[in-house]
Amino acid sequence: MTRGGPGSTSALPAPGPDAEAHGRRVDAALHARLEVAGGWLPFADYMRCALYEPGLGYYSAGAAKFGPAGDFVTAPEISGLFAEVFAGQFAAVLAGLGGGSVLELGPGTGRFAATALAAWPAHGPLPDEYLLLEVSGDLRERQQRQVAVAAGAAAPRARWLEALPPRFAGVVFANEVLDALPCERFVLRAGEPWRLGVGACGAGFAWSERRPDGSHAGDQAFVEATRELPLAGLPDGYRGEFHPGLAAWIRALADGLQRGVVMLVDYGLPRSHYYHPQREAGTLRCHYRHLAHDDPFSYPGLTDITAWVDFTAVAEAAVAAGLDVAGFTTQAAFLLGAGIDARFAAAHEAAASEAARVRLAHGARQLLLPGEMGEAIKVMVLARDCEVPLPGLLIQDLRDSL
């Protein structure tokens, strides 16, 4: 076993009393699961509990997650230009369809929805509805307040859902959602992928690897999934991830989409770059108080856990579900093609102070520069019965890399 757990990442600040008490409840729930499972959990089960267990998981409990008071920031929090530009692309799709709605998955603070709705009138008629799928009651309340305050006259178009609509036409949008789907981990031993799961380590948790010999639930599915991965030639001890629920997630979206597009924005790579010797420790990443680290056993329930997306797997799942892969590009190329430079120039000229202009420029750099989000984050557009040409896809086409 490889040791991990609270205190193992010494640079992390200690939680306050309420957060510490919450962390103990999450620890107890995870240890109870381990006991029922015979002392070993697949990492996907651990991640699902740590992130989504009702009332306990990171995204289900009430603490702040996003922005300066939380653990990380996403593009909509960094710059309003992000949502303003995407609003123009959404409007173009709906104009081509002759109307429709937007469905945003994982709306975070509601900042993206509020900014997009406020900017929408510059692009054309408002959507029929702007739907926000949010299962967390606490986050839903925050989103409602944000939209009510910042979306202006378009705020009444917003409506909240707790499940996917059975039938939908328009735009489905998900920013940094896929990377939070529970992932499985593996480690290569003599060229063979072993399951990298979780065991107890005192009061905390630890990595525990085991050969998938059929003695544990999920072994056969693990073998079948890893058989499809390009692992030949990778070094012994290489660690990697895959998202076992990805195909079902895409299928659920496709089943309800009558006409329109799905826009997925996330950290990720095509498969040939994803499983690569340069990434021998994998892509698993944790975020706590704006500090990134790779120990998911430090403060479970208080820490965000993510893994980059294999966009080849997304494309394969989309095609299998009857969707077309209409585009795949970097965030920088998409935003530039969609006109972020013109929006930046207008906002810069209208800024009320030099400080505001500096903040605007800093946000734009974070969105666009290769060393920031510009290259690491990709945009994939999936379509059904929709051939609207999107300017965001015209500068760069990376579909051949999938």
Q: SS3 for 133? A: strand
> Do β-strands 130-133 and 101-105 pair in parallel, antiparallel, or remain unpaired?
parallel
What is the rounded CA–CA span in Å between residue 296 and residue 4?
8
Token pair belonging to 208 = 């525990």
Burial class (CB in 10 A: 0-12, 13-18, 19+), 311: buried
The predicted structure's pLDDT at residue 10: 55
The predicted structure's pLDDT at residue 290: 73
Looking from the CA of 53 toward its CB, the CA atoms found within 13 Å total: 20
Closest by Cα among 184, 172, 182, 176 to 318: 172
Q: Torsions phi, psi of 2, nearest 5?
A: -105, 120
Closest by Cα among 116, 182, 196, 178 to 151: 116
Number of CB atoms found within 10 A of residue 54's CB? 9
The predicted structure's pLDDT at residue 304: 92
The predicted structure's pLDDT at residue 63: 53
CB 12 within 8 Å of CB 20: no
The beta-strand segments (E) located in 151-234 are 158-161, 168-175, 184-189, 192-201, 204-210
What is the rounded CA–CA span in Å between residue 66 and residue 359?
18
Looking up tokens 């329930």 gives 301
The predicted structure's pLDDT at residue 65: 53
Token pair belonging to 28 = 């107890």
Closest by Cα among 167, 306, 318 to 248: 318
The predicted structure's pLDDT at residue 8: 45
Token pair belonging to 284 = 């698993």
pTM: 0.94
Q: Torsions phi, psi of 242, nearest 5?
A: -150, 160
Q: SS3 for 331? A: helix
Number of CB atoms found within 10 A of residue 88's CB? 21
Q: SS3 for 389? A: coil
Task: Report, as ranges of residue numbers, the positions in the chain whose pLDDT lies below 70.
Answer: 1-10, 61-72
The predicted structure's pLDDT at residue 275: 97
Domain architecture of the chain: domains with CATH: 2-65+183-242 (no CATH), 75-180+247-274+308-401 (3.40.50.12710)
DSSP state of 346: H
Tally DSSP H helices, then E strands, for the chain.
13, 16
What is the rounded CA–CA span in Å between residue 64 and residue 51?
14
The predicted structure's pLDDT at residue 68: 54
> What is the layout of strands, in order, in the sheet containing 192-201?
2-3, 204-210, 192-201, 184-189, 239-242
The predicted structure's pLDDT at residue 85: 97
What is the rounded CA–CA span in Å between residue 7 and residue 227?
36
